[in-house]
Structure formats: structure tokens, C-alpha cells
Chain A
Amino acid sequence: MSSMEDYEPLHGSDHAPGDEPVGRHEIAEGVVGYLIGLGLAILLTAVSFFIAGTSLVWHPSIPIALVVLAIAQIGVHLVFFLHITTGPDNVNNVLALAFGVLIVFLIIVGSLWIMYNMNQNMGPMTVPMG
């Protein structure tokens, strides 16, 4: 039993990311959680690959649909595989994630915005290729 003492928080007040949000639970229950996550992830992946190659949907909507599907799938991975949930015992993990997402958003959107703006203002490059 001594090797198990690490598992449960003292008062059920916190959880390590990746640990299940309920107490000691049965193997079958854990496997079912991963199976649900796997099923949802496969579904979202399949839809992404289908949409990317199809002509059934309005073409300009495809990139937006792909981004939405990818974000949904990342959410599925976070909840079912990393067990980051909205429970009161997961606040620290969620706050860290929120800060990470903020920085990622600033880096990506900021870079795209600035570089797009510079491309617009500098005009076409007329330097001949050496």
C-alpha cells in the first residue's frame, strides 16, 4: 500500500494533470473514458480529412471548418486523455492552460497581423532575382 500513498490528494482538493478527476476508480471505467476520447478524436480527424478533399462544401468555408474541427479535437484530447476538466479540483491546471493559450494566441495572431501589415505596406518586391 505504501507505493499508493502518492495517488490521492489529502483532501481531494487537487489533481495532477493526467490523473483521473474522481477517486480510485476501476480499470474498466478508465478504459471507457479513453475509448470515448479515441472515438471522438477519430470522428473529428475523419471529418477533417474528408472536408479538406471534398467539393461538397462551399470552398472558402473549408479553412474555417478545419480550424474549428482541430480546436474541437484538441479539446477532446485535453479532456479525455490529459484529464484537464472544469472540476473544482482542476483549477490550477486550467489556469495554467488558460495562460498558455493566451500566450499562444498572442504569438500566432500577433505574428500574422504584423507580417500581413508589413507585406501590405512594403508593396511588391521589384528586386530582380540574382
Chain B
Amino acid sequence: MTAFQAGAEYGDGRREESHGHGHAGALFNHTDPASKRIIVGYGFWIFLLSDIIMFSAFFATYAVLSGETAGGPSGRDLFDLHNVAIETACLLLSSFTCGLAAIGARAHQNLMYYGGMAATGVLGLGFLAIEIHEFVGMIAQGAGPTRSAFLSAFFTLVGCHGVHVTLGLLWLLTMIAQVFAKGYRADILRRVLCFALFWHTLDIIWVAIFTVVYLFGAGA
């Protein structure tokens, strides 16, 4: 493997952890402790999966209650697919620019990292602005979360995703500031990795939301 061959170039420094743990080393090549980047990434992946499981409960609630409009407006009356398409484009492009920023961080390329992060932040803000505008408009026409079980489930599910995007934007600003202040240090880069995973996961949840909530609600 490429990584194995490239390993020689790092010399002894990175092998210090492996001493004293090699009981089965003759049989298996996997007894060395994994690097901290792998452990941190894996742990954060477990967190993201549990976050997805939390969202699945909101999705199940929404799916059960989506028809219970209590005589109020349904998704067909409320949803504007034009706005949803713009929101989707914002998040999808921001996932791409976030990937560019992750590559830039790995390669220590300032332009790619800061440019990618800035673009991700602007696109995320655009998404949030459209979503808040949609929520305010719905509440203004009497379709707030207290109107029906359908709207309660809608605001819980989509609002929870919006809260995640808001927290992600705060995290994004933090990562820009930390790389700016401390440079591309290993511990900072692990946080950039976790941030990128978080942002991509938000986009995955949005795919489920625009399908189940908006396209099912407005069209099918």
C-alpha cells in the first residue's frame, strides 16, 4: 500500500507508541495503536451516527403526523419548492467547498483553506437566511408550530437541522480563527477533520429532509 511505503519517510518518531504492545505482532500487523487522527475521527463518526439516529426519531414523528393538519394548511399549501431548490443548492455547494477546505488544510494551502471555509460560511448563511425567511413567513400566516401536529413535527425536524447548521457556522468561524492563530498543527487539523465530517453529515440529513418533507409534501 502507498501509505505503508510512505511510512518509511517519517522515521522513528511516529513509532514510539508501538513499543511494548506487540504480543501478537508476529501474527498480525494491526496491533499498533491507531494514530490519534484515526481515533478522533472514528469517535466523531460514532457521535454523528448517534446524531443521525436522533434525527431518525424526528423523521419517524414527522412521517406519522404529516397528515394530521387539524383543518389547517398542509404542505401543499405552504411549501415553495423554488426556495427549497435554492436551499439545496446552497448546502450542496457548501459541502463541496468544505471538501476543498479540508484538502487545503491537509496540504497547508492558505488560499484553498481560507477560501473554501469562507465560501462554506457564506453558502451556509444563505441557507439559514432562506430558511428563517420561510419560517417567519409561515408563522406570519398563522401556520406556526402550534397550529397542528403536522406543523409541530415540521418545525421540530427542520428547525433541529437549522440549529445544527447554526452551530456548524459558529464552529466554522472558530476553525478559521484557530488555524489563523495557531497554524496547521496536528490537533487543529483533527478539529478541521471533525468539522468537515459534521458539515457533510448535515448535507446528508438535508437530502432526507428535502425528499421526505418538501418533495413528498408539495408534489407527490
Residues of A within 8 A of B (CB): 1-19, 22-25, 27, 30-31, 34-35, 37-38, 41-42, 45, 48-49, 52-53, 59, 62-63, 66-67, 69-70, 73-74, 77-78, 81-82, 92-93, 96-97, 99-100, 103-104, 107-108, 110-112, 115
Contacts and interface: CB of A to CB of B under 8 A. Distances in A.
B7 A14 contact: no
A19 B13 contact: no
A50 to B, nearest CB: 10
Contacts of B46: 96
B177 interface: no
B2 to A, nearest CB: 3
Contacts of A100: 49-50, 52-53
A41 B45 CA distance: 22
A12 B3 contact: yes
B3 A22 contact: yes
A62 B197 contact: no
A interface, by DSSP: helix, strand, loop or mixed?
Answer: helix
Interface stretch (B134-142, B162-170, B183-191): B183-191
B63 interface: yes
Contact of A77 (B33, B45, B95, B100): B95
User: What 10 A-B pairs come out closest when comparing CB atoms?
Assistant: A16-B41, A23-B2, A12-B3, A52-B219, A100-B49, A111-B60, A70-B211, A12-B1, A34-B99, A23-B3
Given A12-B1, A107-B60, A3 B103 contact: no
Given A10-B14, A12-B3, A27-B112, A103 B53 contact: yes
15 contacts: A9-B35, A11-B4, A17-B44, A18-B41, A18-B197, A19-B41, A22-B2, A23-B5, A23-B6, A25-B2, A27-B109, A42-B92, A74-B208, A77-B95, A104-B53
B220 A52 contact: yes
Interface string B156-197: 000000000000000000000000000111100110010011
B8 to A, nearest CB: 11
Contact of A81 (B13, B14, B37, B95): B95
A52 B41 CA distance: 37
A66 B96 CA distance: 23
Nearest to A100: B49
A88 B63 CA distance: 37
Given A16-B45, A93-B42, 10 more contacts: A10-B7, A11-B32, A12-B1, A13-B32, A18-B196, A23-B5, A34-B99, A35-B96, A62-B220, A77-B207
B65 to A, nearest CB: 9
Given A70-B208, A77-B95, A96-B46, A6 B64 contact: no
B85 interface: yes
Nearest to A61: B220
B42 A92 contact: yes
B30 interface: yes
B143 interface: no
